[in-house]
Amino acid sequence: MSNPSLLILAGDGIGPEVMDQVKRIIGWYGDKRGLNFDVSEDLVGGAAYDKHGVPLTDETMAKAQEVDAVLLGAVGGPAYDNLDFSVKPERGLLRLRKEMDLFANLRPAQCFDALADFSSLKKDIVAGLDIMIVRELTSGVYFGEPRGIHIEDNMRVGINTQRYTEAEIERGARAAFDMAMKRNKKLCSMEKANVMESGILWRDVVTEVHADYPEVELTHMYADNGAMQLVRAPKQFDVIYTDNLFGDILSDCAAMLTGSLGMLPSASLGSPMANGRPKAMYEPVHGSAPDITGQEKANPIACILSFAMALRYSFDQGEEATRLEAAIEKVLADGARTGDLMGPEGGTPLSTSQMGDVILAALDASL
Ligand code: IPM
Ligand code: MG
């Protein structure tokens, strides 16, 4: 049988730096665990624009459709801020999500014990935090039509449309309920049914799907209250299911509870392919961080944890994923810190590749 295939799209900013560490981890799994992958690499975002004039070529898109999983670094940067909207780096990422139909975006927010002091919230509010946000990723206001900027009565008008079909709400809801079944069987659905019809439909459809998951305790919350509850008492949540835009916002909020955006991975999953694996892309929640690009300061953990999610969700290697997560927990407990994880007491931060070194050493020690 041939090796599973991975397409690496490191992208812009710190994307390539953090992805270099992931490549070392992938190499380790080949050498030490006999888990070999056929890895190919290509461009996305500003890097693709610089070479091809578009943030994602049709060829790269076609490759992404064929591989078993895509690993993405980050896209965007100040050099591309003034580009025409249609060729902005973000469009490359959104095209991948849309054309691969990656409707279920899993964003875990887990607070590592060693980092509980780094949260902007009090330690006892975040210690032991472990929640999973399931964000609908292929519809809603990100893609709804009509959209655009046009002139009405000599005035510019900007339009975006929040649009959801019941089928779109339902398939994401099933992913969220399935996730809840594997965890603590609690699901909170968030929308704005008090002001948006799409929110009313959202609530109805999620309630209907609940009939198939009687063991799961389902609650509904307005998304603004959800934001407040996330910073007030985040441990009340297990799985949260929400739409594309609310999910974007609430996941940044949840991420920061854990101490650093540099720690948070994500998986974007679609329907099963012919080989039974879901269409999948894995990426850190953080962005391209232009302020620290090229300085070997970036924290590679979010990107490495994204690869752990790939092991778990695409390659059925849950134990190896746990091994990698445990190695990261170990190095953090031992005090390994990149710059984003430095407390007020200071100290010398590890570089990106030094963090890779200690994680590889912890993996070796796990054998
Ligand atoms: C995210 C990002 C993206 C989004 C951007 C880069 C298009 O913020 O993945 O959360 O808005 O979805
Ligand atoms: Mg975001």
Query: Which residues span the domain enclosing 234?
Result: 130-257
Final residue of a structural domain among 257, 286, 308: 257
Residue-by-residue DSSP string for 146-164: EEEEEEETTEEEEEEE---
Query: In terms of domains, do 19 and 71 share one?
Result: yes
- What CA dihedral angle connects 54, 57, 60 and 64, to 10 degrees? 80
Task: Calculate the average pLDDT of the chain.
Answer: 96
* Total number of domains constituting the chain: 2
- Structural domain contains residue 21: yes
**pLDDT tens-digit map of 271-322:** 999 999 999 999 999 899 999 999 999 999 999 999 999 999 999 999 999 9
Tell me how many helices (H) and strands (E) the chain has.
12, 12
CA pair distance 265, 121, nearest whole angstrom: 21
Query: In terms of domains, do 134 and 251 share one?
Result: yes
**pLDDT tens-digit map of 160-196:** 999 999 999 999 999 999 999 999 999 999 999 999 9
Final residue of a structural domain among 206, 223, 257: 257
Answer whether residue 42 shows pLDDT above 90: yes
Confidence (pLDDT) at 342: 86
- How many residues are recorded in the chain? 367
Answer whether residue 354 shows pLDDT above 90: yes
Nearest CA to ligand 1 atom 10: 248
The atom of ligand 1 lying closest to the CA of 287 is: 6
**pLDDT tens-digit map of 327-345:** 999 999 999 999 999 877 7
Query: In terms of domains, do 139 and 99 share one?
Result: no
Answer whether residue 70 shows pLDDT above 90: yes
CA pair distance 18, 20, nearest whole angstrom: 5
Confidence (pLDDT) at 37: 98
**DSSP type of residue 335:** T
CA 125 – ligand 2 centroid, Å: 23
Query: In terms of domains, do 210 and 281 share one?
Result: no
- Structural domain contains residue 112: no
Query: In terms of domains, do 154 and 252 share one?
Result: yes
**pLDDT tens-digit map of 101-159:** 999 999 999 998 888 888 889 999 999 999 999 999 999 999 999 999 999 999 999 99
Query: In terms of domains, do 243 and 136 share one?
Result: yes
CA 173 – ligand 2 centroid, Å: 20
Percent of the chain beyond pLDDT 70?
99
Query: In terms of domains, do 30 and 92 share one?
Result: yes
Ligand 1 binding pocket mutation candidate from 90, 105, 139, 141 (most atoms within 8 A of CB): 90
- Structural domain contains residue 70: yes
- Structural domain contains residue 286: yes
Whole-angstrom CA distances from 40 to 9, 49, 283, 306 are 9, 19, 16, 17
Answer whether residue 52 shows pLDDT above 90: yes
Q: How would residue 255 be classed by pLDDT, with cut points 50, 70 and 90?
A: confident
CATH number of the domain bearing residue 198: 3.40.718.10
pTM over 0.85: yes
